[in-house]
Chains A and B, each alone.
Chain A
Amino acid sequence: MVLELYLDLLSQPCRAVYIFAMKNRIPFELRTVELLKGHLLSREFSQINILQKVPTLKDGDFILTESAAILIYLSLQYQTADHWYPSELRARVRVHEYLGWHADCIRGTFGVPLWTQVLAPLIGIHVTEEKVERNKAAMARALQQLEDKFLGYWDFLNSQQVTLADIMALEELMQPVALGWDLFEGRPKLAAWRERVEAFLGTDLCQETRGRILNILEQAANKTVPQPVPEVYPYMLFRISRIP
């Protein structure tokens, strides 16, 4: 039975999983689950993941959710190069240290611009300026900590070699970048880190993975973003209500 990955490449953790699997030549079948088309809430998908979240992995009858858990599982199951998820204890827990901070300060912050600029307007919702400003401040704070505490004098986050932490972080940052935010302006250290990560992954893979998100502004301008099906309105309203 071949490995199946349920992904929506508009979602940043899904892109991290996709890039990791492709870069490491892990054979898998891509099952695209598009939020706007209501796939996430479909009966078929809820049977696989009752949390109705992507990414989801299915390996025979073993089903796993949560991007960090999926990346760790893939790296161990397919014995990918050690640098991704180092076996040396202190190096390994440095990856977890980053992932813990990421869950608090990156996740939930860098995804907001897509909602405020593209997805909320699709269903006629305007996110208040106050919230947009608060998000901007939260992003600036997080970038500073990312640079000072996790990049520091390293080449990669908490490490001299690329790890799971780098792809999780970079795909989050790409979310606002795709919406026209220049997060790397005035941050040469962070910009150099991005270049190192992308050079390691390869330009083609980065572009292929990010095609849809990088086109999202243009699609929004041309009104070619799929109109959400009514079933997903409550879910979208819930997500929008959670924007701090």
Chain B
Amino acid sequence: MALELYLDLLSQPCRAIYIFAKKNRIPFELRTVELLKGQHLSDAFAQVNPLKKVPALKDGDFTLTESVAILLYLTRKYKVPDHWYPQDLQACARVDEYLAWQHTALRRSCLRALWHKVMLPVFLGEPVSPEMLATTLAELDVSLELLEGKFLQNKAFLTGPQVSLADLVAITELMHPVGAGCRVFEGRPKLAAWRQRVEAAVGEALFREAHEVILKAKDSPPADPTIKQKLMPGVLAMIQ
């Protein structure tokens, strides 16, 4: 039975898993779960993940959710190059540290930036006050400062001289505000140079392919009222 990955490339952790699996030539069957159509809320998908969230992995009768857990599973099961998640204890701890930090800091800022700037007003037709948007963008700035100052510093990649899961998870997050039209790399030459290195490490064609959906998010047609009603509770819980 082939490995199945339930993803929507609109979601940033899904993009990280997609790029990781493709880059490392891990054979999988892509099961697309379209979030904007509410497919994650279907009964069929609840069988895979009762929490109704993507990404999810199915490997025979083993089902796994949560992006970091999925990335670690793929890393070890398919014996990918060590630099992704090093065996060396301290190097590995650096990756774990970044992955834990991003979950409560950068992740939140990037998600809110996309929803407050684009998805709520354009897709769902819900106005966002200028004050709210300003707070969200200021918070994003603080997270970006920390990403550059605390994690990247003067290294080539976030946790050392080689690309790791931390970089992949970070860049796919940052493409969320980029998709919303935020200029996250402007005035941040170190971060911009790091982005080039990460793109080169995973391959530019693959990077572009994985980000096609998010870079078109600005042009989403408005949701129809039934879809909006279906999605609103989850959206509010996610961005509050």
Q: What is A's interface to B at a CB cutoff of 8 Å?
A: 50-51, 62, 64-69, 72-73, 76-77, 89-90, 92-94, 96-97, 99-101, 103-104, 107-108, 134, 138, 145, 148-149, 244
Contacts and interface: CB of A to CB of B under 8 A. Distances in A.
21 contacts: A64-B97, A66-B97, A67-B100, A68-B100, A72-B92, A72-B93, A73-B90, A73-B93, A73-B96, A89-B73, A93-B70, A93-B73, A94-B64, A96-B66, A96-B69, A97-B66, A100-B67, A101-B51, A103-B103, A103-B104, A138-B237
B150 interface: yes
B3 interface: no
B73 A69 contact: no
B48 to A, nearest CB: 13
B104 A108 contact: yes
B128 interface: no
A145 B64 contact: no
Interface of B: 50-51, 62, 64-70, 72-73, 76-77, 89-90, 92-94, 96-97, 99-101, 103-104, 146, 149-150, 237, 240
A93 B96 contact: no
Given A51-B150, A69-B100, A72-B96, A100 B68 contact: yes
Given A50-B149, A77-B89, A101 B96 contact: no
A100 B101 CA distance: 11
Given A73-B93, A148-B50, 14 more contacts: A50-B149, A51-B146, A62-B90, A64-B94, A65-B97, A66-B101, A69-B99, A72-B92, A93-B70, A96-B72, A100-B68, A107-B104, A108-B104, A149-B50
A134 B240 contact: yes
A94 B73 CA distance: 10
B11 to A, nearest CB: 13
Nearest to B101: A66
A20 B193 CA distance: 40
